Structure formats: structure tokens, C-alpha cells
Structure 1
Amino acid sequence: MELNINGGSKLAVSDAVFDRAFNEDLVHQVVVAYRNAARAGTKAQKTRSEVNGTTKKSKKQKGGGARHGALTAPIFVGGGVTFAAKPRSFAQKVNRKMYRAAMAAILSELNRQGRITVVESFDVDAPKTKGLVAKLADLKAGKRPLIVTEEATDNLYLSARNLPYVQVRDVQGLDPVALVGADTVVVTTNAVKKIEEWLA
């Protein structure tokens, strides 16, 4: 198949990458796994054995109502937690074949929806936010554009830094969450070729 390049010409691309059937279950699994891998998993609570406090019996055995020992027990304020949370990893295993298939499915669906804009090149002369905003306005990239280049320059990164919903990625840093969340994906022809090499 062919993609329209902004300006009139066309670019031949692989059907396996840009015209693949959309598999919602697979895409959902990969997106969830990618987001879970970014979770810190550092939540920690103390059990009754870890709480700093005396283990001395709090009151006499008889005549004081309920019989109980240490005040570090979970039923007391300041005591330990019954099923205390501990640091853990939220990572989920995703096979390389699954990940690549999901990326191709997302790109294909974006293409079908007309949300991929191919340009010959995309860069700014100086690290100025104003210049990048003007370029994106010319391309009608929407409020949440994703800019994908073969190798993003420092000027491009710095220009997009102050724009809260504009993301800049090189091909190596492309991920499913960024693709799914973008209104429009602005991608250069060289980046398209590298994506094809990666996913085909």
C-alpha cells in the first residue's frame, strides 16, 4: 500500500505494518503491560512484628475486659497492618512477537482513521517553542500530536518541552501508550522506513 506524503507524493509501505487487522484484545494487553512496567511498586506497610513498640502485655489478664497482649497488634491504633503491602514488581511478560504485532495493529488503525501525517523531514532551526507551534498548526496536527523522527534533535526536544501535550520520539523510543494517546502522529519518511524494518 501507499501513504500520502504531505506535499503530494506517495510512499510505498508494507501492508503487514500499516494495513494490519486491528486486534483490540492484543493491543489492550500490551498497553496495560507497558503501563504496569512503569509502576514503581514501592508501597510498603509494617506488620505487627515490624512496628516499633513494646511487646509487653498491656494490662492484666483478668478484670480488664478483653484479654490482650502487645499494643502492636492490628486492632489497636498505631499497631501493625494485618496484610501489609510490600514492595513488588507489576511487570507483565509480553513476548516480542506480541509487542510488534500490537504496534503494527495500532499504526494500521491510526492510518485507517487518517491520523498519520507523513512528512519528508521535521525539525526546527532553533530551540524555540513558537516555531514548533507554527509548524504543527500548518500540519493541523491537533492538540495532542506525537512527532516521530529517525533521530530527534536537541532543538526539537527543547522546542517541545514547554508544550504539555506534544511528544517527541525517535523510532527506538516509540511505544504503544504514546501512539494510542496521540491525536495525530507526525512521522518522517526515514522514520517510516525504520519502523518497517523493525516491525515487518
Structure 2
Amino acid sequence: MELTNISGKKVSVSDEIFGREFNRDLVSQVVTAYRNAGRSGTKAQKTRSEVNGTTKKSKKQKGGGARHGALTAPIFVGGGVTFAAKPRSFEQKVNRKMYRAAMASILSELNRQDRLVVVDAFDVDAPKTQGLVDKLAEMKAGKRPLLVVEDASENLYLAARNIPYVEVRDVQGLDPVSLVASDTVVMTADAVKKIEEWLA
């Protein structure tokens, strides 16, 4: 199949990567797994056996209201937690074939929805935010554009740094969450070829 470059040129691309059927379940699984991999899983609470406090009976058995033993019990302020959270890993296993298929599925859906824009090259002459803002406005890239280039320059990174919701990624740093969250994906022709090599 062919993608239309913003300048009107046709770019030949693989049907397997930019024209495959959208697999919602697979994309959902991969996006969830990617997000979970970034979770620290370090939350920790203490059970009643771990709380620092005496286990001595707090008051006499009779005549003092409710009968109870140690003040480390969960019903008391400062006591332990009944089902205490412990550090754990949220990692979900996603093999390479599934990940690549999900990425291709997302790119294909972006193409179908006309949210994928191909340009010959994308860069700025100076690390100035306004220059990049004007360039994106001219392309009608939306509020949350993702700029994908083969090798991003320092000027481009610096120019995009102060613009909310604008992301700059090279092909190696591309991930499913950034693709799904973007209004428009602006991709250079060289980046398209690099992605084809990666997902082939």
C-alpha cells in the first residue's frame, strides 16, 4: 500500500504494518502491560504483628466495655492493617511477536483514521518553542501531536520541551502508549522505513 506524504508524494509501505486489521484485545493487553511495567509496586503497610507496640492486654477483662487484647489490632487507631499491602511486581508477560503485532495494529488504525502524517523531514533551525508551535499549527497537528523521527536533533527536543502534550520520539523510543494517546502522529519518511525494518 501507499501513504500520501504531506507534500503530495506517495510513500510505499508494508500492508502488514500500515494496513492490517485492528485487534482491540491485543492492543489493550499490550498497552496495559506497558503501563504496568512502569509501576513501582513498592506500596507497603504493616500487619498487626509488624506494628511497633505492646501485645499486653490493654485493660481488664470485665467492667471496661468491650473486651479486647492488644492495641495493635486493626480496629484501633495506630494498629495494623487487616489486609496489608506488600511490595509486588505488576509485570505482565508480553512476547515480542505480540508486541510487534500490537504496534502494527495501532499504526494501521492511525492510518485509517487519517491521524498519521508523513513528512520528508522534520526539524527546527533553532531551539525556539514558537518556531515549533507555528510549524505544528501549519500542519494542523492537533493538541497532542507525537513527532517521530529517525534521529531527533537537540534543537527539536529543546523546542518541544515547553509545549504541553507535545512529544518527540526517535524510532527506538516509540511505544504503544504514546501512539494511542496522540491526536496526530507526524512521522518522517526515514522513520517509516526504520519502523518497517523493526516490525518486519
Give the TM-score of the pair, scaled to structure 2: 0.97
**What percentage of aligned pairs have identical amino acids?**
80
Distance 2:75 2:114 in 1: 59
Kindly report structure 1 stretches of 4+ aligned residues shifted beyond 4 Å: none
Shift, 1:65, TM fit:
3.5
- Code of the aligned partner of 1:136: L
**Partner residue in 2 for 1:82:** 82
Residue 173 of structure 2 is matched in structure 1 by 173
TM-score by length of 1: 0.97
What is the match of residue 70 of structure 1? 70
2:132 matches 1:132 = yes
- Cα deviation, 1:155-176, whole Å, max 9, x if unaligned, reads 1111111111111110011011
The Cα offsets for residues 106-135 of structure 1, whole Å up to 9 and x where unpaired, read as 000100111111011101111110010111
Distance in 2 separating the partners of 1:159 and 1:166: 10
> How many residue pairs were aligned?
200
Unaligned runs of 5+ in 2: none
Q: 1:156 — aligned with what? A: 156
Aligned-partner Cα distance in 1 for 2:57–2:33: 48
Write the distance in 2 (CA, Å) between the matches of 1:117 and 1:75. 59
Q: What's the CA shift for 1:2?
A: 0.8
After TM superposition, the structure 1 stretch with the greater mean CA deviation from structure 2, 33-42 or 55-64, is 55-64
Report Cα offsets for 1:72-122 as digits up to 9, x if no partner: 111111100011001111111111100100000000010011111101110
Return 5+ residue gaps in structure 1 as ranges.
Answer: none
Offset at 1:5?
1.1
Inter-partner Cα distance in structure 2 for 1:198 and 1:2: 18
Q: Which residue of 2 aligns with 1:99?
A: 99
- Aligned-residue RMSD, C-alpha: 1.0
Aligned AA (1:44) = A
Give the match for residue 111 of structure 1: 111
Distance 1:73 1:83 in 2: 12
**Residues 4-23 of structure 1 aligned to structure 2 (within 5 Å):** 4-23=4-23
Q: Distance in 1 between matches of 2:44 and 2:11?
A: 53
Distance in 2, Cα, partners of 1:180 & 1:154: 25
| Matching residue's letter, 1:149 | V
Taking the aligned partners of 1:157 and 1:89, their CA distance within structure 2 comes to 32
Is the counterpart of residue 30 in structure 1 residue 55 in structure 2?
no
Counterpart of 2:50?
50
Displacement after TM superposition at 1:63 (Å)? 3.3
Counterpart amino acid of 2:148?
A: V
Q: Deviations over 1:29-80 (max 9, x none)?
A: 1111111111121211111111121222111233333332210111111100
Q: Using the alignment, how far apart are the partners of 2:97 and 2:115 within structure 1? A: 25
Mapped to 2, the partners of 1:98 and 1:55 lie a distance apart of 53
SS of the aligned residue for 2:168 comes to strand
- Letter of the 2:72 partner, please give it: T
Quick one: distance in 2 between partners of 1:36 and 1:78? 31
